[in-house]
Amino acid sequence: MHFLPEKLDEYIVSHSETEPKLLQQLTRETYQKILQPIMLSGPYQGRVLSMISKLKSPENIIELGTFTGYSTLCLAEGLAKEGTIHTIDINEELEDFQRKYFDKSSYGEQIIQHVGNALEIIPKINVMFDLVFIDADKPNYSNYFHLIIDKLNSGGIILSDNVLWHGKVIEKLDPKDKSTKAVLDYNILLKNDPRIETVVLPIRDGLTISRKV
The average pLDDT across 163-179 equals 95
For the entire predicted model, the pTM comes to 0.95
CA dist., res. 37 & res. 189, Å (int): 29
The average pLDDT across 69-82 equals 97
List pLDDT tens digits, range 102-145.
999 999 999 999 999 999 999 999 999 999 999 999 999 999 99
Mean pLDDT, the chain, rounded, equals 96
3-state secondary structure 29-49: HHHHHCCCHHHCCCHHHHHHH
The strand order across the sheet containing 84-89 reads 111-115, 84-89, 60-64, 129-134, 152-161, 207-212, 196-201
The average pLDDT across 179-193 equals 98
The pLDDT value recorded for residue 38 is: 83
The pLDDT value recorded for residue 41 is: 86
